[in-house]
Amino acid sequence: AQKVTQAQTEISVVEKEDVTLDCVYETRDTTYYLFWYKQPPSGELVFLIRRNSFDEQNEISGRYSWNFQKSTSSFNFTITASQVVDSAVYFCALSEAQRGAQKLVFGQGTRLTINP
Amino acid sequence: DGGITQSPKYLFRKEGQNVTLSCEQNLNHDAMYWYRQDPGQGLRLIYYSQIVNDFQKGDIAEGYSVSREKKESFPLTVTSAQKNPTAFYLCASSIERPLNTEAFFGQGTRLTVV
């Protein structure tokens, strides 16, 4: 069965610090997709990044970067030089090719607070 | 602007009543989804639809019903059979392929049973 675990319930840092959000997943599918979404106080989820299971190259996009390690089933997300506007709940999500469609399985979320 | 509109933002329901949550999108997406979010928990899939006049149960469909008569609309009915309906409900849409495409979310409806 598929499962996503975000062990960090809440994180609080001071502005400009780097912060890493952890995500561990479980799946039996060989083809799967991992996502990070941000949920600001307004409620909607906003897409941040994605990674395919068959592409293990890690990337940086602006202040965001991610570390995908298949060997440990982890997909960690890092915000560099955090800003107050980064405060939100962050969700890691998994979808599997076998399940079809884009049916996401979410982690419990990590509430990130950036203090000025 | 293109996007997903959910209404109402807040909804109060008496026990034993059915209520319908509205979701409309103008992104021309084929696929639409309903998720439920409980405090301190992630989102869980209730129903999804990949095409008009067709929909499938998600992981927690019991006590809910949906319809997809138009591409733009995917209303969710919370029936009296749902034992614990108080939650935050999010509607989403996406193109159907490729499977790694991102979903777009509405701003949600907060349902409270009084």
DSSP assignment of A12-68 = EEETT--EEE--EEE-S-SSEEEEEEEE-TT---EEEEEEETT----EEETTEEEEE
Q: What is the pLDDT of residue A15?
A: 97
Cβ pairs A/B, distance under 8 A = 73
Nearest-angstrom CA–CA distance, B55 and A37: 25
Chain B nearest-CA residue for A111: B40
B34 touches chain A (CB under 8 A): no
Residue B27 sits at the chain A interface (C-beta within 8 Å): no
CA-to-CA separations, B74 to A88, B48, B90, in angstroms, rounded: 27, 9, 12
Contacts of B45 in chain A (CB under 8 A): 103-105
What would the pLDDT profile of A44-73 be if each residue is shown by its tens digit?
999 999 899 988 777 778 999 999 999 999
* Residue in B43, B56, B101 closest to A102 by CB: B101
Give the pLDDT confidence score for residue A114 in this predicted structure.
97
Cα radius of gyration rounded to whole Å, chain A = 14
Contact of B36 with B66, CB cutoff 8 Å = no
- State which amino acid sits at residue B2: G
Whether the CB of A33 is below 8 Å from some CB of chain B: the reply is yes
- Token pair in block for residue B104: 């777009």
With a cut of 50, which residues of chain B have pLDDT below it? none
Nearest by CB: A45 against B41, B56, B90: B90
A103 → closest Cβ in B45, B88, B100: B45
Q: What is the pLDDT of residue B1?
A: 66
Cα separations in angstroms, A13 against A45, A84, A90 = 22, 10, 15
In this prediction, residue B7 carries a pLDDT of 95
Q: Which residue of B10, B99, B105, B110 to mutate against A (max A Cβ within 10 Å)?
A: B99
Q: What's residue B90's pLDDT? A: 97
User: A85 phi and psi, to 5 degrees?
Assistant: -70, -10
How close is the nearest chain B Cα to the Cα of A18, in Å?
24
| Residue ranges of chain A with per-residue pLDDT less than 70 | 101
